[in-house]
Amino acid sequence: MTIRLRLTLIYGGLFLVSAAALLAITYVLVNRQYTSTFFVRSGRNAVVMAQNAKGLREVGPVPKGFPVPVGPKMLVTNEKLAIAAAQGQSDAATHKLFVDSAFALGVMSLLSLWLGWVIAGRALRPLRTITETTREISASNLHRRLDLEGPDDELKRLGNTVDGLLGRLETSFEAQRQFVANASHELRTPLTLERTLLELALSDPNASIESYRHTCEQLLAVGEQQERLIEALLTLSRSQRGLDSHQPVDLAAIAAAAVAAVDRDGLAFGTAIGPANTTGNPRLVERLVANLVGNAVDHNVDGGTVSLSTETRGGRAVLTVANSGPAIPPAELDRLFQPFQRLEGSRTHSHGLGLGLSIVKAIADAHDATITTRALADGGLQVQVGFPAS
């Protein structure tokens, strides 16, 4: 049964029950009114006799508004016969009233079902539009929207919700296509390099053991780069799936370990490690802190600075990493957290994989953490991550 048919039956059933109750009440009231008391005129002195449940009795002169005109031809010589005739006419009238009302009730019930079907169809028309349009939308035309018109009711809000969902799906599909394209390019580059190295080594008729060894070393370096890329992609995918469980995380200890493990290489480090406890996946949080610290080191200048601090502020465990470096346009801040996005002016020639900050964002989203970025006036970047306190 469709919802339209169910609404029609509910509407028709309610109408039938309410109309039947109204008919029953009307029948009872009419029956009591026209069968409990009868008046007849008896005698030349216009005395009125009344018949009710107690029997025949005299009630006095003709009351005002009495429907039977006073006159010799209207005298009743046998009151009981007159009352019996009136009783029969009353019963016949009430029976006809019941039959006619029942027939009218049947006709109106059918009419109410038809009206219910029409009204339910008009009320559910936006829902049919939502269903049909959503069915037609696929991954190739996610740009379409419902754009429902009408009052701001439940169906309009449902349409707006579906439009919002389609917008998020379009963004996700576009990001996925871009991610696959970038990942394919990043993986194809080392594979092409490997093939080129092997072809050069095999095509050299004067190749020596040393040249083969050098080629193997280059292939191992390219393989390590591929491993790092695949590991980064797996970490990004694992972070985007969310967390299966939450464990206590000491953000201060993780930050201190990340600073101790990094190669400072002429950079000035400033740390302010304060208590900061949260919950989540400790390994992912370690990766987040390591990526932020590594990004601050790689995208720096000779003799630059890196500062790191942890604290509990406003009910949140806050990690702040800032570094000196090239100036970053504020409009480019959002692009930094997209996969395979790099900015020029890093401290080293190797710009990394372009996945560090995108992994940071995915891990932060999985932990319900907020990320605040700020381009420093003298160059460099400040990234602040606020985790929910444990």
Contact 386, 330 (CB under 8 A): no
* Domain spans, the chain: 3-123, 154-240, 247-388
247-388 shares the fold of 154-240 = no
pLDDT digits over 226-285, tens only? 787 777 777 767 666 667 778 899 999 999 999 988 877 788 899 999 999 999 888 889
pLDDT for res 170 = 80
Average pLDDT taken over every residue of the chain:
78
| Res 72: pLDDT | 42
What's the pLDDT at 157?
84
Provide the 3-class DSSP secondary structure of residue 200: helix
With beta carbons less than 8 A apart as the criterion, state whether 97 and 18 touch. Answer: no
Cα–Cα dist 135/173, whole Å: 17
Q: What is the pLDDT of residue 17?
A: 87
Residue 344's contacts (CB-CB under 8 Å, 6 or more residues apart) are 326
Question: What does the buried/exposed string (b/e) look like for 364-386 if buried means 16 or more CB atoms within 10 Å of the residue's CB?
Answer: bebbebebebebeeebbbebbbb
Name the percent of the chain lying above pLDDT 70: 76
Measured CA to CA, the distance from residue 11 to residue 67 in angstroms comes to 44
Q: Is the CATH number of domain 154-240 2.40.170.20?
A: no
pLDDT of the residue at 85: 59
CA 132, 149, 141: angle at the middle one, nearest 5? 40
Q: What is the CATH number of domain 247-388?
A: 3.30.565.10
- Ranking 19-23, 122-126, 287-291, 305-309 by mean pLDDT, the lowest is 122-126
Task: Give the range with max mean pLDDT: 61-65, 106-110, 320-324, 333-337.
Answer: 320-324
Predicted TM-score of the model (pTM): 0.54
The predicted model gives 43-61 an average pLDDT of 49
Higher pLDDT, 306 or 245: 306
Nearest to 126 by CA among 3, 12, 9: 3
pLDDT in tens, 68-96: 444 444 444 455 555 565 666 667 777 78
pLDDT of amino acid 311? 94
